[in-house]
Amino acid sequence: MLDIKFVRDNLDAVRQMLINRNNSFSLDGFAELEKERRNILQTAEKLKEQRNTASKEIAVMKKNGEDATEAIEKMRGVGDEIAKLDGELKEIETKLRDILLNVPNMPKDDVPIGKDETENVEVRKWGQPREFSFAPKAHWEIGEQLDLLDAERAAKVTGARFTFYKGLGARLERACINFMMDLHANKHGYTEMLAPYIVNRDSMIGTGQLPKFAEDMFKVEGMDYYLVPTAEVPTTNYHREEILSAENLPEYYSAYTACFRAEAGSAGRDTRGLIRQHQFNKVELIKFCTPETSWAELESMVDAAEDVLRMLNIPYRVIQLCTGDMSFTSAKTYDIEVWMPSQECYREISSCSNCLDYQARRANIKFRRDKKSKPEFVHTLNGSGLAVGRTVAAVLENCQNEDGTVNIPDALVPYMGGVTVIGK
């Protein structure tokens, strides 16, 4: 959430940001509500000063044996007026907060302005896409032929966009999870977390999923609980309503969860395979840091996510998202896209963002530089390290052989119990 003072003092810039983000939310009414809020505050402060002065005078009158009935009655009326103003102020502040909860973060100055993903900017590439001597198959074909994936029975059991993993397919998914968690903990210094799969409304508000994206979430019927769309939600809210110590920052957390998304608005897109599922596994990277270090922390987070693909020897590229394609809470985002031979294109496998103090302000996460310092909002960052199903898809496609078998990348062999090739 943006600071209300910032929005008030930079209203035109915030309106332009909404345009740059292709966000149709209107700030109409904000300025009038904010003006009314300040007027009520000023009036209430004057009345409170008047009441304090009168209270002292009444005390003196009583001490001198004078009749203070009229003065007391007058102050009772002032107290009633103060209570009325406090009620009006609370109502206006609720309306202002509702407005601010629907305003996205301000992009960093170097974020390219663009309408959608077609205007994202490539930053770098790693690895050379393999040249096949045969027509490479799509990962869902490979998964079906090797009896690794079963979407048909998953559709029977649950519905579309769900998948059963079988045999070495299930083992490969689990191997990727364990490999990623070990890599981030042992090499990159992240504390391993196993977070809840269900969170409350306050947690969803804290990281920005609510109220804006309610239709994308799976809500538990009859309860104020939601299935997590990403481990970002429970792990960022781990420190909600807390004041951290600067000497303990930065904090790095790596959390595996299943993720649940309604995929509203994605009808007809990626209807086959593991790219766009209602339920999928993901390893998430979360950072809490001081404001002056957050941009460097973003770069190191991206490098940690890239390291997974480098270790698997799978080609990828890094792109910087334009304003029209960035997430709601982000000030700057890098996407990592993995090469998919069957489609002859790169597909997103990770998104790493610096949210500055936007989430911390919503979730009230602060830190103190020392015992005498005033609390400040931390900066929060999040990134996929990586989306597991998409990693499995990338392995199946990039490591396939003409005879229908799939080679296991060397980094995953220990996690596959020594299996080096998946065959029929």
Pick from 416, 338, 393, 424: which is nearest to 151 by CA? 393
Strands 379-387 and 406-407: unpaired
Distance CA 197, CA 365 (A): 21
Instruction: Supply the residues annotated as catalytic.
Output: 261, 276, 348, 351, 390
Distance CA 167, CA 93 (A): 56
Both structure tokens of 199: 């969170």
Distance CA 144, CA 166 (A): 10
Report whether 131 contacts 39 (CB < 8 A). no
Per residue in 30-45, is it b (16+ CB within 10 Å) or e — as a string?
beeebeebeebeeebe
Alpha helices (H) in 195-325, listed in sequence order: 201-206, 232-236, 294-312
Distance CA 261, CA 259 (A): 7
Both structure tokens of 399: 């490591």
Beta strand ranges found along 121-182 (DSSP E): 121-126, 149-150, 164-165
Strands 345-354 and 225-227: unpaired
Which value, to the nearest 10 degrees, does the dihedral of the CA atoms of residues 338, 339, 340, 346 take? 80
Please list, in sequence order, all residues whose beta carbon lies within 8 angstroms of the beta carbon of residue 199, skipping any fewer than 6 positions away: 225, 226, 228, 233, 234, 237
Strands 379-387 and 149-150: unpaired
Distance CA 399, CA 1 (A): 44
Strands 406-407 and 421-422: antiparallel
Before 309, cis peptide (omega within 30)?
no
Report whether 169 contacts 144 (CB < 8 A). no
Q: List, in sequence order, every residue forming a beta bridge with 200; answer none if it has no partner.
A: 225
